[in-house]
Amino acid sequence: MKLSDLKNTRWTLDHPELGTGPVSIDSYSSPEYFDRMREKVFKQTWLCSSKRIDEIPNPGDYFVENIDIANASIVIVRGMDGVIRGFHNVCLHRGTQLVFDSYGSVKGKFTCIYHGWSYSLSGKNVLVTEKEMFFDPDHIEADLIPVAVDVWEGLIFYNLDPKPKETLREHLGNELMDLYGSYPFEQTTVQLSYKADLPCSWPVLRDSQIDGYHLKYLHRRSAPGFMESEDAPSRHAYDFKLLGRHSSGSFYGNRARIGADLSSAAPITALASRVGQTLASDTASRVPLEQWAPGVNPTKSDNWFFDILYVYPNIHFIFLGYDAYIIHKMMPGKTYNTSTWNARYFGPPVASSDLASKWAAEFMKVSLRDLWREDGNTTLGAQKAIDSGVFKKMYLQDQEIMIRHAEKILNDAVNS
């Protein structure tokens, strides 16, 4: 498909419920909105940890998730029976945090540092130290408080609601699962993880990774020439889909040309893309497009750069090829104008003996770092403008439909 074939397309007009007017910024600016969002969204929606089951392969392997907006910390652990479970990271004696490392492994039980109470990996209290000194020792109910955990395609999700109102599969929806369920997530390994605490509201951060519009402007130095299209200069998207609460977009790119052109502005980019997986690698030449998951590069266009799958409320998958993708996890902080961004890149495993691929993987790390620093930088100025009160509404063009949709879905949930 060519971008010029889409000359008269206006995706937003196909969804009249979204409107076309300026968009208010309550969710970016209001502490009251933030309080309602805590209760209506983050304490009762399935949230993706962005971790995979193979990151905690053995009994006792665990990781900790901090959900600052809910003042919650949870530990997700693989049990002796191989089952992955979640618990509030709280000792039931006097509320001390049970686990402190972000990742770790224990031998069959968690032990609290304060007075030594212990818990099995299935959450059962197995030791109250000096038990005889308690007053009704046989009636101490001190099992860990469970958190609902479920897995889709190897990705671990959790829900802080003690009784989730829907299953993870109901939350994702059949359409999303049909489009992306056959993606070879299991053939990839995590190759880098960056984290940043930012003084901006969570929606500002969410929006920083949800449009293709900004790439040829903001990233003109770090990704030169990637998105310019002489065919249709003011278009960058081949496709958008609204998938219930979620959405997807597919974007034009000059990957093949950049990879082929060693005399371009960034010859090192071309070189790295030939020997490993980078932003310019043409994975379609390695795995034919018809074998890709139907949701990725859905128009099966030759000049394709990447797809975004936004999973409500706070996850963006950026598909970069047949088996390379990024997960951005955008978490609100403790206050409306703070947030935490964790970006993780997954790709095909790189053999340690393959020096060329290892070099390309290092090149990919610094490429993404440069891109993301540019994105992160924009969030700071935006929040200042919002908090000053001078900036009151956003004008969104047709190809920013994913922001318009995400904001409507969020407002509907928060104001319900």
Give the binding site for ligand FES (CB under 6 A): 91, 93-94, 96, 112, 114-117
Distance of CA 283 to the CA centre of its chain: 22
| Cβ 94 to ligand FES shortest distance, Å | 4
Location of structure tokens 């090829």 = 321
| Cβ 208 to Fe ion shortest distance, Å | 6
Nearer to ligand FES, 113 or 356 (CB): 113
Nearer to ligand FES, 117 or 312 (CB): 117
| Cβ 111 to ligand FES shortest distance, Å | 8
Instruction: Report the distance separating Cα 163 and Cα 224, nearest Å.
Output: 49
Instruction: Report the distance separating Cα 45 and Cα 313, nearest Å.
Output: 8
Integer angstrom CA distances of residue 63 from 88, 103, 105, 182, 326 = 12, 4, 9, 26, 19
What's the distance, Cα to Cα, between the start and end of the chain in Å?
41
Contact call for residues 331 and 67 (beta carbons, < 8 A): yes
| Cβ 97 to ligand FES shortest distance, Å | 9
Nearer to Fe ion, 38 or 235 (CB): 235
Nearer to ligand FES, 117 or 341 (CB): 117
What is 361-394 written as a DSSP string? HHHHHHHHHHHHHHHHHHHHHHHHHHHHT---EE
SS3 per residue for 217-231: HHCCCCCCCCCCCCC
Nearer to Fe ion, 323 or 375 (CB): 375
Q: Per-residue string for binding with Fe ion, 40-79, x by CB under 5 A?
A: ----------------------------------------
| Cβ 323 to ligand FES shortest distance, Å | 44
Find which of Fe ion, ligand FES, none residue 112 binds, CB within 5 to 8 Å per kind: ligand FES
Find which of Fe ion, ligand FES, none residue 375 binds, CB within 5 to 8 Å per kind: Fe ion
- Judged by CB under 5 A, the residue of 61, 207, 323, 375 near Fe ion is 375
Q: Which of helix, strand or coil describes residue 168?
A: helix
Tabulate helix, strand, coil % of the chain (nearest 5). Answer: 35, 25, 40
| Cβ 204 to Fe ion shortest distance, Å | 13
Q: Which of helix, strand or coil describes residue 299?
A: coil
Nearer to ligand FES, 94 or 195 (CB): 94
Location of structure tokens 């003042």 = 71
Find which of Fe ion, ligand FES, none residue 392 binds, CB within 5 to 8 Å per kind: none
Find which of Fe ion, ligand FES, none residue 103 binds, CB within 5 to 8 Å per kind: none
Stretch that binds Fe ion, among 87-95, 107-115, 367-375, 389-397 (CB under 5 A): 367-375
| Cβ 90 to ligand FES shortest distance, Å | 9
- What does the block give as tokens for 387? 């908090």
Nearer to ligand FES, 72 or 413 (CB): 72
Find which of ligand FES, Fe ion, none residue 115 binds, CB within 5 to 8 Å per kind: ligand FES
SS3 per residue for 180-194: HCCCCHHHCEEEEEE
- What does the block give as tokens for 241? 């889909």
Contact call for residues 227 and 233 (beta carbons, < 8 A): no
Nearer to ligand FES, 3 or 98 (CB): 98
Q: Which H or E run includes 241?
A: strand 237-243
| Cβ 75 to ligand FES shortest distance, Å | 14
Under the rule (CB under 5 A), what is the footprint of Fe ion?
375
